[in-house]
């Protein structure tokens, strides 16, 4: 498997959220576009604070940008998230930094009455600082992942209950 497609065993932290979407015609590119604009305003503000603090420690930063203004191809960025893989039903975003490596897997699969959208986050901390960072952001990450997925499903088609 290529470096763009991560191996689960290499990432000790993984979480996953799923959501039904009534649109059966969703592909990975549409997921990227929806993802790029799904963060609520409070999360964008928190990311700006995170970026100011992270820059002081030499960590990577970047604003969230809407995917409609970017080239959606491997190697391009949606804010601080590099597109590592883009297939018909799977997009992998990620970045490798000093404290940790992370991957966001956005996938879609057909199901009765529409599509199943899934967001997975995989993290590989490099040292205690990476584990500390992960522990600090985890409560917000978990909430934000669920909210963004729900927003993505609503924008891509009427959504059903969270799985």
The domains of the chain are located at 28-54+63-159
C-alpha to C-alpha distance for 104 and 66, rounded to whole angstroms: 16
SS3 40: coil
SS3 79: coil
DSSP, res 132? H
Amino acid 92: pLDDT: 95
**Cα three-residue angle 61-64-68, rounded to 5 degrees:** 140
Would you write out the chain's pLDDT as a tens digit for each of its 163 residues?
345 677 888 899 999 999 999 888 899 999 998 988 888 888 777 777 776 776 676 666 665 555 456 678 888 888 778 899 999 999 999 999 888 999 999 999 999 989 999 999 999 999 998 999 899 889 999 999 999 999 999 999 854 444 4
Amino acid 159: pLDDT: 47
- In sequence order, the 6+-apart residues with CB closer than 8 A to the CB of 154 are none
Amino acid 78: pLDDT: 82
Of 11, 32, 14, the residue nearest 141 (C-alpha): 14
Reduced 3-state DSSP string for 87-107: CCCEEEEEEECCCEEEEEEEE
Amino acid 126: pLDDT: 94
Amino acid 158: pLDDT: 56
CATH number belonging to domain 28-54+63-159 = 3.30.530
C-alpha to C-alpha distance for 69 and 37, rounded to whole angstroms: 11
C-alpha to C-alpha distance for 8 and 107, rounded to whole angstroms: 15
List 39's β-bridge partners, or say none. Answer: none
């Amino acid at each position: 498997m290529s470096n763009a497609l991560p191996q689960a065993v290499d990432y000790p932290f993984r979480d996953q959220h799923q959501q039904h979407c009534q649109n059966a015609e969703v592909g990975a590119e549409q997921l990227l576009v929806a993802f790029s604009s799904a963060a609520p305003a409070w999360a964008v503000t928190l990311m700006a604070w995170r970026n100011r603090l992270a820059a002081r420690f030499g960590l990577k930063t970047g604003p969230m940008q809407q995917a409609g203004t970017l080239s959606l191809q491997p190697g391009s960025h949606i804010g601080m998230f590099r597109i590592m893989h883009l297939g018909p039903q799977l997009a992998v975003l990620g970045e490798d930094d000093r404290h940790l490596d992370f991957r966001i897997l956005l996938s879609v699969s057909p199901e009765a009455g529409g599509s199943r959208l899934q967001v997975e986050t995989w993290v590989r901390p490099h040292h205690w600082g990476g584990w500390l960072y992960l522990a600090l952001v985890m409560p917000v990450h978990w909430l934000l992942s669920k909210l963004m997925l729900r927003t993505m499903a609503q924008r891509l088609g009427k959504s059903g209950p969270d799985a």
